[in-house]
Amino acid sequence: MNASTLTRKPYTPKEAVDRLRHGDLGAWPVVGGLIAIAVVFGSLNEHFLSPENLTNLALQMAATGTISLGIIMVLLLGEIDLSAGSVSGLCAVVMAILSVRHGWNPVLAIVVALAAGALIGLLHGIMFTRLRMPSFVVTLAGLIGWQGLLLYLLGEGGIVNLPFDGFVAKLSDTWLPPWLAWVIIVLLVAVSGGSSLLTRRLRLAAELPVPPAWWTATKIGGLAVVLVAVLLVMSADRGVPLLLVIFGTLVVAFDLVLRHTVFGRWMYAVGGNVEAARRAGIGVTRIRVLAFVLSSTLAAFGGILSASRLSAVNQGSGGSDILLMAIAAAVIGGTSLFGGRGRTYAALLGILVIQSITNGMFLLSVDSSVRYMVTAAVLALAVAIDSLARRGSAT
């Protein structure tokens, strides 16, 4: 198995330096890229780093970032899900039709839409594991088929408008009061710090190596500084949007699941070496099916968040470049296309890079063709770094 195995240990500063020397750069290229993007676009347009624009950036990345989070679940196994965009649009349409045309309670309509996404993922997983169909073919068929079902459900009208004052639309137009935002930051730092300290205590009890206490404290303090900075910037505008909180909560929750549960360790094990995982007694088929279920369910939720921002669903829901941006975000954020390596924070970092590039070029009135080429170059660079990292870790 590769770096992410059944038992993952925290890295000490010395081990982190050794990993860098062997080509495993982790999230540092992404962080460096974000700094470069901020410097370049901030110098070219003073509005780029304004609180208003940064708040809009947070709103823009939530939906696609959620879809990207689901794709990471499949990428960790070394597979791919090309149907995520179509699934997001279809489930958003299901939610809109039930709540608007049939008068269902919006919350119940959302639950049904998420269940539909889970069933689609289950179907994909069964086709992949039981029929031995390549995930590329299964999800490519899904991309086409679910898009067709979306068009069929919408009918001739082709659009369903959501009430501007309804529950779904309010998801993207709700801002946390300052006191609640501070409480959430305190809780996030406490959960992160508690998780790190608990892991350290358990490893000490098992007489396993642990990083120095100052290293753990530095990481917790760095997280606190970043979160406070984000809060202060957004407080200068409208405040912290609920969409960002929802997306951030999903990222943190799935990160904890992948790092601190048996299911998460099995995910990394299957992605690292399928045969070794099977011989270790891991239910490979079950893990693969669950990965596709999670991917489609999160795609469905991302589609609902997108519908909330637009207050409507239409024939283009889940289409355009949403799928490509979601996959690119996962890879740019550091998730390996070869499986076995990556964290959910890749969705956050990757979508932040892509949306920052998109937003910056929009402010500069750059043609969309140039944006596509720049995004392609960034994606190619991320894959090249991943390939070099694998080559370095193998030597």
pLDDT single digits (tens) 289-325 = 999 999 999 999 999 999 999 889 998 888 878 898 8
| Average pLDDT of the residues of the chain | 85
Single out the residue of 161, 176, 26 nearest to residue 97, CA to CA.
Answer: 161
**Pairing status of strand 312-314 against strand 159-161:** antiparallel
CB 98 within 8 A of CB 166: no
pTM for the model stands at: 0.88
Average pLDDT on 366-392 reads 74
Tokens of 361: 């070029």
d(CA 143, CA 264) in angstroms, rounded, equals: 27
User: Which of 4-8, 120-124, 169-173 shows the lowest mean pLDDT across its residues?
Assistant: 4-8
pLDDT at res. 15 = 53
CATH of 30-174+241-394, one of 1.10.3470, 2.70.98, 3.40.50, 3.40.1620: 1.10.3470
Give the pLDDT of residue 1.
38
Q: Specify the range with the lowest mean pLDDT, choosing from 2-16, 153-167, 268-282.
A: 2-16
Q: Which residue has the higher pLDDT, 120 or 238?
A: 120
pLDDT score of 80 more than 70: yes
For the chain, the domains span 30-174+241-394, 175-240
pLDDT of residue 195: 79
- Residue 276 contacts residue 287 (beta carbons within 8 Å): no
User: Please, which pLDDT band fits residue 3 given cuts at 50, 70 and 90?
Assistant: very low
Q: How confident is the model at residue 373, as a pLDDT?
A: 85
Q: Which pLDDT band holds residue 392 (cuts at 50, 70, 90)?
A: low
Q: How far apart are the first and last CA of the chain?
A: 15
218, 12 Cβ separation under 8 angstroms: no
Highest mean pLDDT among 108-122, 234-248, 304-318: 108-122
Report residue 25's pLDDT band, with 50, 70 and 90 as the boundaries: low
Query: Residue 2 — very low, low, confident or very high, per pLDDT cuts 50/70/90?
Result: very low
**357: closest CA among 51, 25, 61?**
61
The model's pLDDT over 128-185, given as tens digits with 9 standing for 90+, comes to: 999 999 999 999 999 999 999 999 999 877 888 988 888 888 888 889 898 999 998 9
